[in-house]
Chain A
Amino acid sequence: MNTFEVVDLNLWYGSNQALRDVRIDIPANRVTALIGPSGCGKSTFLRTLNRMNDLISTVRIEGSVLFNGRDIYAPATDAAELRKHVGMVFQKANPFPMSIYDNIAYGPRVHGMRRKSELDTVVEDSLRRAALWDEVSDRLKKSALSLSGGQQQRLCIARALAVHPEVLLLDESTSALDPISTGQIEELVGELKKDYTVVMVTHNMQQAVRVSDHAAFFLLGNLVEFAPTDKLFNNPDDPKTADYVSGRFG
């Protein structure tokens, strides 16, 4: 089962082409890591999966991205509805300047949940899934900005989970965190793949090896190789992949 099927995806920022003929099938309930040097297009690619690139007015896209068989760039697709199913956690934790509770309840409220009892359940459930409940259950009304960096990032994961997505996109979500917080989030990702499809961009090769089932190597806007993580790191087909994963460039 594939969650995403991407066919001949091309993307331009103005006249600058950032993705070239990308073809990839992202399997469901697995962790897929996107690796490659800075500027290779991996974050851009991640953002095509929930149409966050729509926010940039100069972006032009060709090709198709099928999510569960439906073309998300078809005119009939509602980007807001898509993002309900494809959640995203950003590089820098971006909790809203509201209470912890209101942060988690934000998504469910967007989608019309009003009853306090329902919201309470979702908030607790999401925080538990993000392994944050024990740390914050006694101060849900406190500002989310009072949490530490690692806690804020797990809060953002919980916030994304609260709308019950099928997919979680992580855009270098641990790059600003200390090793312990990073470890907690990696462990969490391992747990989450039971219920979610996870696609993560990472600069950290060890992290890709530790966490992901599949890995895709991007270079200069091209998808060079996509394979099970073991194979990509130990026995890649493409010499460029071999050079990158062995640390010869990038």
Chain B
Amino acid sequence: MDARISKGRRMRDGMTKGLLYASSLMVCLILLFIIGYIFARGVPGITAELLSTQSSYVRDTIGILPNILNTLYIVLVAMAVVIPLGVCAAVYLNEYAVSKRLVRLIGFAVETLAGIPSVIFGLVGMLLFIQMLGLQAGILAGGFTLVVMVLPTILSNTLESLKTVPDSYREGALALGSGKWYMIRTVVLPNAIEGIVTGCILAVGRIVGESAALLYTAGFGLVLHSFMTALQSSSATLTVALYVYATERGQIGVAFSVATVLLAITLLLNVAANISASKLNRKEKVR
């Protein structure tokens, strides 16, 4: 009797385990297939010329250097605006705001904002930054649009990590006669830095991978510009360039090469994120 129960249970256990195993195997296989396929089709097309020149109709060559730079520029512009904005807003909401209703309302708004499809941010960005404020489609208008898009990521990550800082730290600092801002600067923010950095890296990831929000705001330009010029001239990032090469020019091979570069950048970002997170973590404990 006993033996039979345990046998049935063992079978059920085994089946569950097998199912779980199969799921995780499936996930791994899909991931490996995507990465492998992109690399297999993209790597052969990657040449020094592709990475270091701009496309030329005259010489009939293709180069994605402008798009690599544009991606970098737009990350810089968007992050330079969104980090101070998001972190300050989160600090206000968590440390200063008295009205809990206001905080809840803003939290709800942020969640809603996070769920909106990015193409809508693109439309709003176009109307707001280009038509109303009169900017040219370019890195600036695109960057601002991305600010609106990734603000929820930065804000909610910062907010969550501020909440993990124990109140006893705040009390300890205030009891020593510290002012509120000094307390936030020296005790609260340093202990929330990990979450803030994580939020930033997620945001950069989204920016690098974004295309829909940039179609109408940053433009399709494939010409090499300096940073200052690119701010106000049509500049395609890597993802937009991928779209252009794949659909408008039918250069599927180039599109795969761009995808490979994108994948490599994303990989690099994730590695950097892990390293910086563990470094910060260690510093925290040794300090």
Chain A interface residues (CB < 8 Å from chain B): 50, 52, 55, 57, 80-84, 87-88, 90, 92, 94-99, 102, 106-107, 110-111, 143, 145, 156, 159-160, 163
Q: Judge whether B285 and A160 touch: CB under 8 Å.
A: no
Q: Judge whether A55 and B171 touch: CB under 8 Å.
A: yes
Find the A residue at minimum CB distance from B170. Answer: A55
Q: Judge whether B285 and A143 touch: CB under 8 Å.
A: yes
Contact of B166 with A by CB under 8 A: yes
A94 CA / B191 CA spacing, docked (Å) = 14
Residues from chain B with a CB closer than 8 A to the CB of A88 are: 175
Q: Judge whether B176 and A87 touch: CB under 8 Å.
A: yes
Find the A residue at minimum CB distance from B178. Answer: A110
A96 CA / B287 CA spacing, docked (Å) = 10
Q: Judge whether A52 and B174 touch: CB under 8 Å.
A: yes
From known contacts A80-B179, A110-B182, infer whether A96 and B173 are also in contact, taking CB-CB under 8 Å. Answer: yes
CB distance from B282 to the nearest CB of A (A): 11
Interface centre among B171, B177, B284, B287 (most CB of A within 10 A): B177
Q: Judge whether B173 and A87 touch: CB under 8 Å.
A: no
Q: Judge whether B191 and A97 touch: CB under 8 Å.
A: yes
Contact of B172 with A by CB under 8 A: yes
Residues from chain A with a CB closer than 8 A to the CB of B187 are: 96
Residues from chain B with a CB closer than 8 A to the CB of A98 are: 287
CB distance from B147 to the nearest CB of A (A): 32
Q: Judge whether B175 and A96 touch: CB under 8 Å.
A: no
Find the A residue at minimum CB distance from B176. Answer: A107
Residues from chain A with a CB closer than 8 A to the CB of B186 are: 106
Contact of B168 with A by CB under 8 A: yes
Q: Judge whether A52 and B175 touch: CB under 8 Å.
A: yes
Residues from chain A with a CB closer than 8 A to the CB of B286 are: 143
User: How extensive is the interface on chain B, given as a class?
Assistant: 20 to 34
Contact of B98 with A by CB under 8 A: yes
Contact of B169 with A by CB under 8 A: yes
Can you list, as one digit per residue, whether each of B275-287 has a CB less than 8 Å from chain A (1) or not (0)?
0000000001111
11 contacts between A and B (CB under 8 A): A52-B171, A90-B172, A90-B175, A94-B166, A96-B172, A97-B285, A99-B287, A106-B173, A110-B173, A159-B176, A160-B175
CB distance from B28 to the nearest CB of A (A): 38
Chain B interface residues (CB < 8 Å from chain A): 98, 166, 168-179, 182, 186-187, 191, 284-287
A55 CA / B170 CA spacing, docked (Å) = 10
Residues from chain A with a CB closer than 8 A to the CB of B171 are: 52, 55, 90, 94
**Other-chain contact of B168, A84, A94, A160 (Cβ < 8 Å):** A94
10 other A-B residue contacts (CB within 8 Å) besides A84-B176, A90-B172, A94-B171: A55-B174, A80-B177, A80-B178, A83-B175, A90-B171, A94-B168, A96-B187, A97-B285, A106-B173, A107-B176
**Other-chain contact of B172, A80, A84, A94, A143 (Cβ < 8 Å):** A94
Residues from chain A with a CB closer than 8 A to the CB of B166 are: 94
CB distance from B117 to the nearest CB of A (A): 39
Q: Judge whether A160 and B176 touch: CB under 8 Å.
A: yes
CB distance from B11 to the nearest CB of A (A): 49
Find the A residue at minimum CB distance from B286. Answer: A143
Interface centre among B98, B172, B176 (most CB of A within 10 A): B176
CB distance from A161 to the nearest CB of B (A): 11
Q: Judge whether A90 and B168 touch: CB under 8 Å.
A: yes
Q: Which 6 A-B residue pairs are closest in the complex by CB-CB distance?
A: A84-B177, A94-B168, A107-B176, A88-B175, A83-B177, A94-B172
Q: Judge whether B287 and A97 touch: CB under 8 Å.
A: yes
Residues from chain B with a CB closer than 8 A to the CB of A84 are: 176-177
A193 CA / B176 CA spacing, docked (Å) = 19
CB distance from A204 to the nearest CB of B (A): 22
A99 CA / B166 CA spacing, docked (Å) = 18
A107 CA / B183 CA spacing, docked (Å) = 11
Q: Judge whether B191 and A106 touch: CB under 8 Å.
A: no
A88 CA / B98 CA spacing, docked (Å) = 25
**Other-chain contact of B169, A50, A83, A94 (Cβ < 8 Å):** A94
CB distance from A72 to the nearest CB of B (A): 13
Residues from chain B with a CB closer than 8 A to the CB of A50 are: 175
Residues from chain A with a CB closer than 8 A to the CB of B285 are: 97, 143, 145
Residues from chain B with a CB closer than 8 A to the CB of A92 are: 168
A80 CA / B64 CA spacing, docked (Å) = 57
